[in-house]
Structure 1
Amino acid sequence: MRKLHFIPTLLLAGSAILFLSCGGGGDDNGGDNGGGEPNPIPAPLATTLIFPDNNEECTEGEVINPTQSRVVFEWNDSQNTDSYQVNLRNLNTGSSSLTSSTESSTPIILLRGVPYEWFVVSRANGTSETASSPTWRFFNAGPGISNYAPFPAQAVAPTRGATLSATSSVVLEWSGSDVDNDISSYTVSFGTENPPPALESGITGTSLEVDVQSGNTYFWQVATEDTAGNVTNSEVFVFRVE
């Protein structure tokens, strides 16, 4: 009797082990990475801009009044993106504005006869990661304008806020652009004061070598002039020499 009683006990124990091994695991397709954590939300990718065109005059749009028009900004859809943020800056005043959209276009009211720059930030729900498009510049068409002023020059080197190793000279480099393609010359202001004093005018290239001393912070600015006599000042750029 002891032997007959012992065999069923082993069978019951084996059945329990088999049941636990077959049914005790979790579902591998449960939306996590196998460790109980949810799958990460993919970061959005940067979009590419379509309109207004870069370094061009924007003649399209609805004229609201003599000083304002409504322009539809357009860009391509980007992957892993739920919404977009249009960053717009008035290059005459430096003032900025933000416009949000869940589509790949949005209308924005602009001042006429004013230069702007813009870029678009891609955003996704559930993540703080973003992606930014390149920055484009354009002139919003204005009444009676036959020749547009140049765009403000942009610093190429030293980059804005850069700290340079000890040296006795630095080559300032910048880029200029104009809707009418009629830039005639540049004037560079440079020094340790802000705003910096004028250093050299009538420059036809886009670089200038300047003398510097270690331990100083320098400010520089570029004025761009076209053949019609229009002059546009860049922002004041700054760098430091160790």
Structure 2
Amino acid sequence: MLASCGSDDGGNDGGGGNGTAAALAAPLNNTECITGTEVNETQSKVTFEWNEAADNQTYFLYVKNLVTQNTLQYNAANNTSYEVTLSKATPYSWYVSSRKNSGNTVQSEVWKFYNAGPGITNYAPFPAELVAPVMSSSVYGPSLTLQWTGSDLDNDIESYEVFFGTAANPTTSIHTGTQTSVNNVAVVSGSTYYWKVVTTDVAGNATASPVFQFKVL
């Protein structure tokens, strides 16, 4: 059953670093947000909430559209909530960066959610999060392992398809299955490779990850 995006008073310790990170509260992680205020047929206003971080001066809210991969930054000043107009039926991720009086900044955890849309009974999977090799890294061959993570509000992921190659928009499929890694992928020294993962659920909804790249030394 899907949960609303109501707040979590328990909080979290966030991303560590020089001080305490803001503890995210709402929208809840890996949920469908149904508490947004109607703007029009395609948009609603969602209030982001977090708990106060120690020694904080300013909060910056970052909201990423997981379809377009566009990230917007909002200056919330010293407030612990901020309202943003979002597209309906769209997955988002978000986090809060706290600027301390000492001048240091600390980032919270990153949460993700689906902003509710009309008539949706089965949500597409969240885009897979590519783990390794990390973006723009340099690695050694002659073979390596591709790793990622996947999630879906309905918990009905059917398969992952991996596209890999030297083209900036890879179209060669090298794997389809339920596991979240591919071992013994052959690579050539001096080449730059690109890869992405398309996640499909049992309802036929498919979502592509961003394209990652790495270079083989």
**Does residue 222 of the first structure (1) align with residue 197 of the second (2)?**
yes
Amino acid at match of 1:186: Y
Is the CA contact 1:150–1:177 (under 8 Å) kept in the aligned structure 2?
Answer: yes
Could you tell me how far apart the structure 1 residues matched to 2:32 and 2:180 are?
A: 23
Deviation at 1:200, TM superposition (A): 2.9
The match for 2:25 among 37, 43, 50 is 50
Could you tell me how far apart the structure 2 residues matched to 1:95 and 1:174 are?
A: 21
**Does residue 108 of the first structure (1) align with residue 70 of the second (2)?**
no
The match for 1:168 among 142, 149, 152 is 142
Question: TM-score, structure 2 length as denominator?
Answer: 0.87
Ranges in structure 1 where 5+ consecutive residues have no aligned partner = 1-42
User: Which structure is higher in helix share?
Assistant: 1
Could you tell me how far apart the structure 1 residues matched to 2:33 and 2:174 are?
A: 33
Deviation at 1:180, TM superposition (A): 0.8
Amino acid at match of 1:123: R
Higher RCO structure (Cα 8 Å, ≥6 apart): 2
Amino acid at match of 1:112: K
Deviation at 1:159, TM superposition (A): 1.2
Identity value in percent: 45
Amino acid at match of 1:225: T
Hey, which bits of structure 1, 4+ residues long, moved more than 6 A?
none
**Does residue 120 of the first structure (1) align with residue 120 of the second (2)?**
no
Report the equivalent of 2:168.
Answer: 194
User: Which structure is higher in strand share?
Assistant: 2
Q: Counterparts in 2 of 1:47-86, with a 5 A limit? A: 47-86=22-61
Q: Give the match's secondary structure for 2:196.
A: strand
Report the equivalent of 2:4.
Answer: none
Report the equivalent of 1:158.
Answer: 133
Who wins on radius of gyration, i.e. which is larger? 1
Report the equivalent of 1:40.
Answer: none
Q: How many pairs does the alignment contain?
A: 198
The match for 1:94 among 69, 72, 75 is 69
